[in-house]
Copies of this chain bind each other. A is one copy, B any other.
Amino acid sequence: MENRNHNFELDNLDTQILSILMEDATIPYTEIAKKLIVSGGTIHVRMKKMHDMGVIRGANLIIDPQKIGYDICAFLGIYLEKGSQYHDAVESLKKVKEIVEMHYCTGAYSIFAKIICRDTTHLREVLNENIQAVKGIQRTETFISLEESIKRQITLS
Measured CB to CB, the residues of A under 8 A from B are: 6-7, 10, 15, 18, 21-22, 24-26, 53-65, 67-70, 73, 75, 90, 93-94, 97-109, 112-113, 116, 118, 141-156
| Minimum distance in angstroms from A46 CB to a CB of chain B | 13
Q: When the two chains form the complex, which single residue of B56, B112, B141, B146 contacts A143, counting CB atoms closer than 8 Å?
A: B112
Q: Is the CB of A99 within 8 A of B57?
A: no
CB-CB nearest in chain B for A94: B150
B100 near A154 with CB under 8 A, answer yes
Contact status A63-B22, CB under 8 Å: yes
Whole-angstrom distance from the CB of A79 to the nearest CB of chain B?
13
* Cβ contact of A106, chosen from B69, B99, B146, cutoff 8 A: B146
- List chain B residues, Cβ under 8 A from A101: 148, 150-152
Q: How far is the CB of A62 from chain B (nearest CB, A)?
A: 4
- Leading 5 A-B pairs by shortest Cβ distance: A6-B69, A102-B150, A25-B59, A103-B145, A57-B62
How far does the alpha carbon of A144 sit from the alpha carbon of B154 in the complex, in Å?
Answer: 17
How many whole Å from A141's CB to the nearest CB in chain B?
7
Report chain B residues within 8 Å CB of A147.
Answer: 103-104
Q: Are B104 and A146 in contact (CB under 8 A)?
A: yes
Among B25, B113, B118, point to the contact of A60 (Cβ < 8 A). Answer: B25
Tell me which of A61, A107, A141 has the highest count of chain B C-beta atoms within 10 A of its own C-beta: A61
Q: Are B109 and A24 in contact, with the CB atoms below 8 A?
A: no
- A145 contact set on B, CB distance < 8 A: 103-105, 112
